[in-house]
Structure 1
Amino acid sequence: MSDWLHNLPLPLMAVVIFAFTYLLAAGIFAGIALAATEERAKSLKAISPGMLPVLGIIFGLFVAFTAAQVWGDSDRASAAVSREASALRSAVLLAGGLPTEQETKLRGLVRDYVGQAVAVEWPMMAHQQASLKVTPPPLAEALQLVVTMTPQGTGQANVQRELIAALEQALDARRQRIIVSLAAVNPVKWWCLYLQAACALLVIGLVHCDNRLGSAIAMGLFATGVATSVLLIAAHDRPFAGQISIQPEPLLQIMPEGPGKG
């Protein structure tokens, strides 16, 4: 699905998805009504109602497999952001073991990195445009600062080692969240999901072709279930896009407020 749909407010997204699904059901209903003449109605009615449970189960499996991917991507994205925030928080705390000048500079670099991630990377991830080609300059500079420092004593050597590990963990977590931001349900899965729904709607209409009111009610109920399932998946499809998305609050909460503050 396109960017414009994923970035709609949830109520508008629901309107679009429900309208499209009901339009699909109405088109199938109208087609069956035109085809089910007196001569053909008996032949169409001969389609076994036993197909309905099979088609319903297959549609349910499609929904379950697609939803499993979406939930997995969302969990991975949330875990990556939390791990990144935790690593940066560790770096900020460990900076207290450095000389004052280096501590102040490191805290400033972490603050710049968080600000860049929130202001630049989050909107890019929402549109699946974030890239791993370039390492954020503030984080690269922070890592270089720690690697090139000359520790004074065992204590600072331990701090240096732990800081390097924390910054590398933050870089790895950033890579993970950007990779997950590129994940989405591909068009083939959406087409297959709706094709399976259309097949089920068609069979419902054919089985009840001699009862227009019953057919309309049954198809309407199934279309509502289809639209609800699609809305649930689409609203969570891209972890960093839309009204229901992962926000950068964990990073903002650990952002150093200024020199000497943790």
Structure 2
Amino acid sequence: MFEFIHLLPAWLKFVACVLFVGLITVAALGMMSALRRFWPPGPHGHNMVATMLSGILVPTGMVVALVAADIWQQDAKGHAAVEHEASAVIDVLRVAKFLPGDQRENVTGLTDDYIREVVENEWPIMSSGRWSPAAEDLLEALVVASVQIEAAADRLGQRRAAEELRRYAHDIERARDDRLLIARSPGIMSAKGTVVLMLLFVAACVLCELHLHQRRSLAIAMLLFSLSFGATLYLIMSFDRPFMGTNQIQPESLSLLLIRG
């Protein structure tokens, strides 16, 4: 529903969100104007609407805050998955230093190839729900190599290193699975966006009804409403999909491992 917004530049995304909320207020204005024409308000209608405004804005703000909290929690999970994956990769490379020459070169080569495949090929396609089969094959080969090293170890120190290597390789698998799962998620706004927009529309209807015969107050109220909730919607949309758009999580911690000395 909101996929195209994620792909916009930051400034254009902000403008689009403000204009979108502005369209909601214009639609609300049109509906309330038509309603007043066919069903004029009573003598105490103005007081009732003024009371309703605060009663509607409070739950609207609460729902928007809850949605924003869910989105930022999802973004934090994405960052945590990437850092966990990078940390496990570092541990694999650290343990590989204690392996015999051929085994060390094999493990280091597989790990470097995996990092390069993830950074260069898997990262750009994650936002579309896809992943790299080559990265999965390399990670599987790393796990198999760790099992083979553990089986062939004849000394206690090598066996301990092989056990640690296998454990860290599985940690990479789990972190990658978490990262791909978050990247494939449809986003919080896809599930709760309809409720948020409906509440914004209802609040805009009450706002327009309150200022319908005062053009200056109506224009100012609609402008402030569009700016405030448009800015809030911009922040929400900027972090709704952690691995999509201009604010997507970057593989910086993994990229640094490729240029290590």
TM-score when normalising by structure 2: 0.90
CA distance in 2 between partners of 1:122 and 1:83 (Å): 16
Residues 69-100 of structure 1: per-residue CA shift (max 9 Å, x gap): 11111111111111110111011011011111
Match of 2:232? 229
Structure 2 portions without partners, runs of 5+: none
Q: Is the 8 A contact 2:19 2:226 kept in 1?
A: no
Match of 1:204? 207
Residues 5-31 of structure 1: per-residue CA shift (max 9 Å, x gap): 212111111122212211221232244
Count of residue pairs brought into register by the alignment: 257
CA distance in 1 between partners of 2:48 and 2:212 (Å): 10
Q: Is the 8 A contact 1:29 1:216 kept in 2?
A: no
Q: 1:34, CA displacement in angstroms? A: 4.9
CA distance in 1 between partners of 2:105 and 2:200 (Å): 59
Q: Is the 8 A contact 2:243 2:249 kept in 1?
A: yes
- Structure 1 residue 171 and structure 2 residue 173: aligned? yes
CA distance in 2 between partners of 1:145 and 1:193 (Å): 50
- Structure 1 residue 158 and structure 2 residue 160: aligned? yes
- Structure 1 residue 53 and structure 2 residue 48: aligned? no
Report the residue type matching 2:105 in the other structure. Answer: T
| Structure 1 pair 21–88 and aligned structure 2 pair: CA distance change class (3 A) | same
| Structure 1 pair 108–248 and aligned structure 2 pair: CA distance change class (3 A) | same
Q: 1:102, CA displacement in angstroms? A: 1.3
CA distance in 1 between partners of 2:35 and 2:178 (Å): 53
Q: 1:45, CA displacement in angstroms? A: 3.5
Q: How does 1:183-198 map to 2 (within 5 A)?
A: 183=185, 184-198=187-201
Match of 1:118? 119
Q: How does 1:4-153 map to 2 (within 5 A)?
A: 4-37=4-37, 40=40, 42=42, 45=46, 47-130=48-131, 136-149=136-149, 150-153=152-155
CA distance in 1 between partners of 2:9 and 2:147 (Å): 45
| Structure 1 pair 94–219 and aligned structure 2 pair: CA distance change class (3 A) | same
Structure 1 portions without partners, runs of 5+: none
Q: Secondary structure at the match of 2:49?
A: coil
Identical columns (%): 27
Report the residue type matching 1:145 in the other structure. Answer: A
Q: 1:38, CA displacement in angstroms? A: 11
Match of 2:243? 240
CA distance in 1 between partners of 2:180 and 2:191 (Å): 23
Residues 132-170 of structure 1: per-residue CA shift (max 9 Å, x gap): x99711111111112112113111111101101111111
Report the residue type matching 1:136 in the other structure. Answer: E
Residues 37-68 of structure 1: per-residue CA shift (max 9 Å, x gap): 59825565364311111111111111111111
Q: 1:210, CA displacement in angstroms? A: 2.2
Q: Is the 8 A contact 1:17 1:231 kept in 2?
A: yes
